[in-house]
């Protein structure tokens, strides 16, 4: 895969990484529902610290995730677009928001996570594994 690039809605925050994606997940946690304003968030796990920014650095909002652990949500201060999250539950990963990618043609979710808090009306693909909470890492 070539370099991952993306940014926010207004273009103030731009990023890239040469890191290969480690996992693509559909997160159904309540925090992702609130942040995205919809039923879930599609996220790409990449090695922590591998994102490089051009233009404005994203702002931070400290939150507590459904796991009870800290989550640092990074977003554009101008347009509010979510860019990525850093979760204490997965300290080796950053979770890039798939909607911020320039090219989403390669995105293929591999797992549904936090299914215990999924909206009842969401239909999940039976071909993709479902886990009640955090993804298995290891």
Total structural domains in the chain? 1
The angle subtended at Cα 78 by Cα 29 and Cα 6, nearest 5°, is 65
| 45 within domain boundaries | yes
Mean pLDDT of the chain: 93
Q: Would you say the pTM of this structure is higher than 0.95?
A: no
| 81 within domain boundaries | yes
Q: Residue 100 in contact with residue 82, Cβ under 8 Å?
A: yes
| 132 within domain boundaries | no
| 137 within domain boundaries | no
The whole domain housing 50 covers: 4-117
| 32 within domain boundaries | yes
- State the CATH number of the domain containing residue 92: 2.170.150.70
* Closest CA relative to residue 5, chosen from 63, 68, 51, 64: 51
Query: What pLDDT band is residue 134 in, cutting at 50, 70 and 90?
Result: confident
């Amino acid at each position: 895969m070539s370099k991952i690039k993306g940014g926010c809605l207004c273009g103030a925050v731009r990023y890239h990484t040469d890191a290969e994606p480690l996992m693509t997940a559909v997160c159904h946690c309540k925090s992702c529902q609130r942040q995205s304003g919809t039923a879930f968030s599609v996220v790409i796990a990449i090695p922590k610290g591998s994102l490089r920014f051009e233009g404005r650095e994203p702002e931070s909002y400290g939150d507590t995730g459904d796991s009870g652990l800290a989550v640092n949500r990074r977003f554009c201060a101008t347009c509010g677009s979510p860019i990525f999250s850093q979760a204490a539950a997965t300290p080796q990963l950053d979770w890039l928001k798939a909607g911020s990618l320039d090219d989403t043609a390669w995105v293929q979710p591999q797992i549904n996570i936090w299914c215990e808090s999924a909206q009842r009306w969401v239909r999940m693909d039976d071909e993709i594994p479902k886990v009640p909470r955090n993804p298995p890492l290891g």
